[in-house]
Chain A
């Protein structure tokens, strides 16, 4: 599997967990409700949505569940499933909140944790409800049957009933969403401190829409729709899935470059060097794991090198002022370096060592053109000069990626709107001091219940996406550990910082992914220990974040409202969020 595929499934999981954590960001970050039972609503969302897409239960087979509505017209599809799952999770969140929300915060946390355990045990014990302790399977994610995209399949539109060629339509949808998301991100960087032609890229990417007086969201929508239509048209007329994929991929890389360089240009040369040193040091420290022969050398070597690295970092923070001032940015630069090497260079080591130059080029090309999956038996064949024969296809993961990205940004946008609305201001006031809120004539109870409803609904929404992603549910998945992970994600980025939640989810899952890969270099008998070590390390990481970065990596977001004469910072312009302070800690 190419590294690009790993990254894509990684981003899907990050997106789902970011949405799940957004529920907690709203509950804890904005309202101050410590909901230790957040996983309960994740569970509710997952199971409720699945009942809408399962076929009716066959009493003769080994699985049993309470309802399967897939055959019911209009109702039996994912769209309805997700909406109902979100609503039900929200309603249950409100019902849980009614009796518990008046409790002291620690009582509240433990009581709602108990509620989530009750949900989990209910699923486990009641075999008639959702197959009890065994996995609930037998449903497939939406449109899965059309993937990988080939040029001869057909798709029946759900409501209209018309039949359209599947590949151009689905590719157009995927491309439109990816394009729009990239454009929206780029829109936030319109006048960054970068030497790259960001504005022309924005203008070109939006097909001229950026020239008008449209807001960022509309520009993104227009650009996405045009890009989607164009790519769909190209696919309909010509057998051109590879060129279309190349354009989409390269556009996204260009946006990534602009975003990265906007951050990087703020760094001085010595910060850069320190970051590269840090990233390379991490790379070197991990070398004993794949290459050392004996397990003892793997463990001792890596631990010794990591200790040296962390020690060196700590020493530099204590002795060099510039290093201490920019330590988070140095870590950022180091991670960027590490990830780039891992993504582009490391996959080439194998083919190059074997003297297979064209193989190395093919790998590089596959990782660069991430929008397409390469290799395998199924797909469209191309003969490219210098690379040889390429089999390309669009697999389901990429379609899912587009969907999850859209939903994640949608959740982000909604949360930003909420945080900046009068309602959000009251929520923050409830978090800071309930008596003040009460004295101003607002009932904190009402606002807390509303926050629980909305946060739980987000959790349920994430649950439905999770059900879609995993294609099977067991009660074990919904252990209290998930709440812990969501809390960690919320705290890494900054409890009340909406951007921070995405960063937190990415950091957490990057750590998860990296340690799983590293664990595969150990003998199977030791893997349990290695994976346990990583969870212990996660606990330590959590403590470090809580102690040294109580406001998270990105710090507190500034939601101050502009006052009429404009004395405070510029406020939101048609929903465009003001930038968080970017983690500067001076």
Chain B
């Protein structure tokens, strides 16, 4: 008999939901924190990214652009040329936002490079990206890349054309909220003006060869954990057409489990002590987490012995997930890692943190806060594109409300975390876990209540700490 799906599964789903929320929430928090815009249009930026990717993935379905298409998923030379031009324009446009033509000549690099070198490097990168997109046409990764570079150029425009004008008038934060609400309308319904009301989806090759056989990474896999008298087993199963195949079975004796846990905790403590007091990229907590995760992974792989599933386990539970969902968690973690590196290890990141702490002080100290702000918008746009394109694939339908449905949990996560990047990540996972666990654990709570649960958590936290979990220090 198969083990039941229980709380651990809800927590895993919560982790996935939290990752999805955090992908959007990071950009939202950056903009909220540094550019001081509580951007109601952020959800619609995700939608914009998802629709932009259609231009590469399914050019035949894009109104106006379909005249260049030679088939549902193929474009002629002119169409490829346009995609190439848009990609290069996206790259150069993003750079241009950092300070005009001088930025294109390399002024933002922080080193004295000759203008020709700057221009050359930027042009080469732009052409490379354009070539990559055109070469990858109409694959999903090319579509993702295209959406990312395009939004990297478009999203800062909302800052320079709208938000900056209002900021220069000295409007209050609440007014900025209203402005961004109007922006949300403009963006969402401009998309709908072009694309109409049809539901769309990407075409993605979802089977990949793994170890000699093809695996569809969108199909659900089951992971059964059982604890029996002699140890712990984990089996990975796939069900297709009523037939269950066992893909992997791992078994550990009690001795191995205890040894793994002891070593992992020891490494965690050691890592923490090694990095204590350090402000480097790998801080104490990160060192501890990375160390113990590495020990568990390597140890788990080395010590695993093939095992039979115990017939009468003491405890058993089943997780239901797909490689795609695990992949989304990994992508979210990787992007957080990138951002963490940018914030901690680069001058730009230092400037961003300084601007976040105190913009006037940063300006007095010679930091180009305007450029910092544009960087923030570019990053927000790129992250939004990634999140939007991933979501469009995960839900396998792209509608005009794709991003808006996610906006409220994102805001809940950001405010929960006290409007900072790290707080937003934490807040997103709290919100994601709360949503899934509450719907699993509270009887009679249907999936309609996902967003309400997020807000109930937010309300409870704000009642106790009006500044959010990490805010107000």
Per-position 1/0 for A112-134, Cβ under 8 A of B = 01110110011011000000000
Query: Are A536 and B193 in contact, CB atoms less than 8 angstroms apart?
Result: yes
* Contact status of A532 and B189, CB under 8 A, knowing A34-B177, A114-B459: yes
| Stretch touching chain A among B66-74, B178-186, B303-311, B350-358 | B178-186
Query: Are B186 and A113 in contact, CB atoms less than 8 angstroms apart?
Result: no
Query: Are A535 and B185 in contact, CB atoms less than 8 angstroms apart?
Result: yes
Query: Are A103 and B193 in contact, CB atoms less than 8 angstroms apart?
Result: no
Query: Are A536 and B412 in contact, CB atoms less than 8 angstroms apart?
Result: no
Query: Are B165 and A117 in contact, CB atoms less than 8 angstroms apart?
Result: no
Report which of B174, B182, B186 forms a contact with A546, defined as CB distance below 8 A: B182
Closest Cβ–Cβ distance, residue A122 to chain B (whole Å)? 7
Residue of B nearest to A127 (CB): B446
* A→B interface (CB under 8 Å): 34, 36, 99-100, 102-107, 109-111, 113-115, 117-118, 121-122, 124-125, 484, 487-488, 491, 525-526, 528-530, 532-533, 535-536, 538-540, 542-543, 546-547, 550
Query: Are B177 and A538 in contact, CB atoms less than 8 angstroms apart?
Result: no
For residue B38, CB closer than 8 A to chain A, the reply is yes
For residue B162, CB closer than 8 A to chain A, the reply is yes
Residues in B neighbouring A103, C-beta threshold 8 A:
462, 466
For residue B166, CB closer than 8 A to chain A, the reply is yes
For residue B451, CB closer than 8 A to chain A, the reply is yes
Residues in B neighbouring A538, C-beta threshold 8 A:
185
* Contact status of A536 and B448, CB under 8 A, knowing A110-B411, A111-B459: no
Interface size class of B (residues with CB under 8 A): 35 or more
Residues in A neighbouring B448, C-beta threshold 8 A:
121, 124-125
Centre residue among B174, B182, B192, B197 by max chain A CB count within 10 A: B182
Bound: A410/B151 CA distance, A: 49
Bound: A115/B462 CA distance, A: 14
Query: Are B466 and A107 in contact, CB atoms less than 8 angstroms apart?
Result: yes
* Contact status of A528 and B197, CB under 8 A, knowing A110-B415, A115-B455: yes
* Contact status of A114 and B412, CB under 8 A, knowing A99-B463, A528-B192, A543-B162: yes
* Contact status of A117 and B408, CB under 8 A, knowing A99-B463, A111-B462: yes
Closest Cβ–Cβ distance, residue B200 to chain A (whole Å)? 14
Bound: A546/B188 CA distance, A: 19
Query: Are A113 and B174 in contact, CB atoms less than 8 angstroms apart?
Result: no
Residue of A nearest to B175 (CB): A546
Report which of A102, A532, A547 forms a contact with B193, defined as CB distance below 8 A: A532
Report which of B165, B173, B184 forms a contact with A106, defined as CB distance below 8 A: B173
* Contact status of A543 and B186, CB under 8 A, knowing A99-B463, A106-B173: yes
Query: Are B186 and A539 in contact, CB atoms less than 8 angstroms apart?
Result: yes
For residue B456, CB closer than 8 A to chain A, the reply is yes
Bound: A525/B197 CA distance, A: 9
Query: Are B181 and A484 in contact, CB atoms less than 8 angstroms apart?
Result: yes
Query: Are B183 and A543 in contact, CB atoms less than 8 angstroms apart?
Result: yes
- 15 pairs, A vs B, C-beta closer than 8 Å: A99-B463, A106-B38, A107-B415, A107-B466, A110-B38, A111-B458, A114-B455, A114-B458, A122-B452, A488-B182, A529-B194, A539-B186, A543-B162, A546-B179, A547-B165
Query: Are A536 and B189 in contact, CB atoms less than 8 angstroms apart?
Result: yes
Which residues of B141-183 have CB atoms within 8 Å of chain A's CB atoms?
162, 165-166, 169, 171-175, 177-179, 181-183
Closest Cβ–Cβ distance, residue B88 to chain A (whole Å)? 28
Residues in A neighbouring B446, C-beta threshold 8 A:
125
Bound: A404/B426 CA distance, A: 49
Which residues of B449-473 have CB atoms within 8 Å of chain A's CB atoms?
449, 451-452, 454-456, 458-459, 462-463, 466
Query: Are B458 and A539 in contact, CB atoms less than 8 angstroms apart?
Result: no
Residues in B neighbouring A107, C-beta threshold 8 A:
415, 462, 466
Residue of A nearest to B192 (CB): A532
Report which of A110, A113, A121, A528 forms a contact with B449, defined as CB distance below 8 A: A121
Residues in B neighbouring A125, C-beta threshold 8 A:
446, 448-449
Per-position 1/0 for B86-111, Cβ under 8 A of A = 00000000000000000000000000
Closest Cβ–Cβ distance, residue A566 to chain B (whole Å)? 36
Closest Cβ–Cβ distance, residue B109 to chain A (whole Å)? 35
Residue of A nearest to B414 (CB): A110
Query: Are A106 and B452 in contact, CB atoms less than 8 angstroms apart?
Result: no
Residue of A nearest to B194 (CB): A529
Residue of B nearest to A117 (CB): B451
Residue of A nearest to B185 (CB): A539
Residues in B neighbouring A114, C-beta threshold 8 A:
408, 412, 451-452, 454-455, 458-459
Bound: A36/B182 CA distance, A: 13
Report which of B165, B171, B188, B192 forms a contact with A529, defined as CB distance below 8 A: B192
Bound: A107/B461 CA distance, A: 12
Closest Cβ–Cβ distance, residue B173 to chain A (whole Å)? 5
Query: Are A536 and B458 in contact, CB atoms less than 8 angstroms apart?
Result: no
For residue B323, CB closer than 8 A to chain A, the reply is no
Query: Are A487 and B181 in contact, CB atoms less than 8 angstroms apart?
Result: yes
User: Which 4 A-B pairs have CB atoms at the shortest separation, nearest pair first?
Assistant: A114-B455, A539-B185, A532-B192, A539-B186
For residue B396, CB closer than 8 A to chain A, the reply is no
Bound: A103/B194 CA distance, A: 39
Residues in B neighbouring A487, C-beta threshold 8 A:
178, 181
Bound: A488/B400 CA distance, A: 22
Bound: A104/B419 CA distance, A: 12
Bound: A490/B19 CA distance, A: 38
For residue B76, CB closer than 8 A to chain A, the reply is no
Closest Cβ–Cβ distance, residue B165 to chain A (whole Å)? 7
Residue of B nearest to A528 (CB): B197
Query: Are A100 and B459 in contact, CB atoms less than 8 angstroms apart?
Result: yes
Residues in A neighbouring B185, C-beta threshold 8 A:
484, 535-536, 538-539, 542
Query: Are A536 and B190 in contact, CB atoms less than 8 angstroms apart?
Result: yes
Query: Are A118 and B182 in contact, CB atoms less than 8 angstroms apart?
Result: no
For residue B115, CB closer than 8 A to chain A, the reply is no
For residue B196, CB closer than 8 A to chain A, the reply is yes
Residue of B nearest to A525 (CB): B196
Closest Cβ–Cβ distance, residue A462 to chain B (whole Å)? 20
* Contact status of A118 and B194, CB under 8 A, knowing A99-B463, A100-B459, A107-B415: no
Residues in B neighbouring A539, C-beta threshold 8 A:
182-186, 189
